[in-house]
Structure 1
Amino acid sequence: MPRKIVDPGSIDEDLLRDLVGGVPRPDAVPIPSVPLEPADVSSMKTAEAADTSPEVRRRKVTLPDYESTFLKSKTVRHRMTVSISENTKKKLSAVVQYLGTPDLSISGLVENILSHHLDLYRDEINRLYRNRQNREIL
């Protein structure tokens, strides 16, 4: 079956980022709630707990240039083993083979992706860590 070709200009990048970040669409119509049966009391407690938790502020992120951010050659020193699924490995291999520079490896691509992720979410990761350290274990 042929793939659908989409014009990149027609893609609403802000909407995609909001959807991934869990931000509701501005034109979304609220769905009427269905009354729960008594057996679903535990899910009601979970929903109530989620409503009382503080709202996480997400920053609006402009997407970096993919090629200069992720497809640049990176020498990985002091390598460590990380396991990924076979499917993910095949996808990364295809990206490196068809889009990467001749000296880019899968390890280099993974290093670039993870470094970018950790830089992007540094504040959020630190906030979550601080919150969990203040909790009592027992």
Structure 2
Amino acid sequence: MDATLQDFLGNKPSMETLKPDTQSAGTKEQPEKTSEVVLEQAGEAVPEQVDETPQVVRRISGKQRRASLEEYKESFLTVPSIEDRKPVFLSRSTRDALDRIVRMFGERRMSVSGLVENITRQHLATYGEDIEAWRKL
């Protein structure tokens, strides 16, 4: 794996070397939770403790995905009523990404402008009080 992927997964970069496991197959002791890793830094060996607890990857069922899609549609893909329209400028890549979402999941009358309106309303509802408090600082 490359170093970026290893950092994302919580592993150390590939320049580390792991010590071989010294437990014999005949012993029935509990394996240690940590192992010693040796890093070479400027020609010196520095021991470091690393936690070897396995990372649990949880699968999302199709039912959970459908429920989250329905929640997303209810929050962002309902056709809003926009009274006094004003233009908003987006980069082409952002506009294309939003347009793709609207075409895939939106209803017949849904538009990118409606999606941006819904996202903005949600943002203001979530952070409105904080924005007012920050304004007074």
User: Given the two structures, how large is their TM-score scaled by the length of structure 2?
Assistant: 0.49
Which one has a larger percent strand, Structure 1 or Structure 2?
A: 2
Structure of higher RCO (CA pairs closer than 8 Å, 6+ residues apart): 1
Larger radius of gyration, structure 1 or 2? Answer: 2
Which one has a larger percent helix, Structure 1 or Structure 2?
A: 1
